[in-house]
Amino acid sequence: MKFSNFLFPESRSPKEDFTVISDALREAELSDQLGFDALWLAEHHFDGGCAYVDPLTFAAAIAARTRQIKIGFAVAQMALHHPIRLAEEVALIDNISQGRMIVGVGRGSAFNLYEYRGYGIDPAEAQERLLEAEQIIREAWTTTDYYHAGRFWQVALPALRPQVFQKPHPPILRACSGMESTLEMARQGRPFLMNIQNDATTRQRLNAYRQVMAEAGYSEAAIARNLSDSWVWRNVFVADTDTQAETLGVPAFRAMRTYLAEARRRWNTSQELDTLADALRAPARDSVDQGLIYGSPETVCEKLAALENMDVGGVIIHFRLGPMPWEIAEHSLRLFAEQVVPQFQKTVPT
């Protein structure tokens, strides 16, 4: 099981932006030094929920500061990007990083409809934009004299330069917010990214994914390979003792969830909130019991063992929660890397 750090830093006011962004760069460098498998970058606009806003620009900064760690998007909001511009930028960062890019894509924010309004995009178009953009990006990386005439974009591309470092192209993983989108990835034989879910729901989706891939004719080896390349998201806080973890981690988690909920209530219109009411009731994201793994290194190991038993390929871990000070988050990160990760490293016989 692979472990990664989800850089999702909250900045509650413009005067905090510089410090929070600087801290996130330090966190990226530390994650590389501690041997994490990947860094994941979010994309959210206008509310301070993700201080660096643009995952592509931030990925370039991280690529220049790190040496081994993979850099992924969780996710790039495809409704807000021109696919050729994104394909060029990813190709450049893939060269800067010497092939460390993972391209996680999604339709865009499911809950912050003000992000679409800020870009002048109709959220009703988001899913179709995702599908068309995904096709264009893949073809742009692998085709010369590429022509595309679609609903949203018309492209006549001699050749994309620079070419991507990874061949035929960097991995493209689609975020799956529900069972049906997960099963669509199974039918296509593609790995996926899964958002915050409790362990029971995670197990249910993984079992269904295996079954649908098998019914579609994929081999056991292909199914195992796809699961190894798929990732699930968890919030994690580690302290020296269970008591310290509860005292420091739980309030930060609750403050983070409150801040995001208040931003949605503030910036979404009343009509938008009415349409989102059912979707926003999500205990796996909002409740401490389902949305946060916390405790001493020993306790966190016990709680993560359930994921390992499901044959999850990798865990996307959000360490710095909401307004948590950098020094506290750093200690959690170090404890996880030094005392939790070794418990999941398999000994290979010689």
What secondary structure, in 3-state letters, does the chain show?
CEEEEEECCCCCCHHHHHHHHHHHHHHHHHHHHHCCCEEEECCCCCCCCCCCCCHHHHHHHHHHHCCCCEEEECCEEHHHCCHHHHHHHHHHHHHHCCCCEEEEEECCCCCCHHHHHHHCCCHHHHHHHHHHHHHHHHHHHHCCCEEEECCCCEEEECCCCCCCCCCCCCCEEEEECCHHHHHHHHHHCCCEEECCCCHHHHHHHHHHHHHHHHHCCCCHHHHHHHHHCCEEEEEEEECCCHHHHHHHHHHHHHHHHHHHHHHHHHHCCHHHHHHHCCCCCCHHHHCHHHHCEEECHHHHHHHHHHHHHCCCCEEEEECCCCCCCHHHHHHHHHHHHHHHHHHHCCCCCC
Q: What is the mean pLDDT of residues 319-333?
A: 98
pLDDT of residue 278: 80
pLDDT beyond 70 at 208:
yes
Residue matched to tokens 């005439």: 149
Percent of the chain with pLDDT over 90: 92
pLDDT of residue 346: 65
Longest dimension (CA), the chain: 63
Q: What pLDDT digit, counting tens, does each position of 152-190 carry? A: 999 999 999 999 999 999 999 999 989 999 999 999 999
Q: What is the mean pLDDT of residues 284-304?
A: 95
pLDDT beyond 80 at 110:
no
Q: Which range (6-10, 91-95, 306-310) has the least confidence?
A: 306-310
The span from the CA of 150 to the CA of 66, in Å, is 38
What is the pTM for the complete model shown?
0.96
pLDDT of residue 345: 86
CATH class of the region 2-344: alpha beta
CB-CB contact of 173 with 193 (8 Å): yes
pLDDT beyond 90 at 348:
no
Q: What pLDDT digit, counting tens, does each position of 49-61 carry? A: 999 999 999 999 9
How confident is residue 284, by pLDDT bands cut at 50, 70 and 90?
confident
How confident is residue 150, by pLDDT bands cut at 50, 70 and 90?
very high
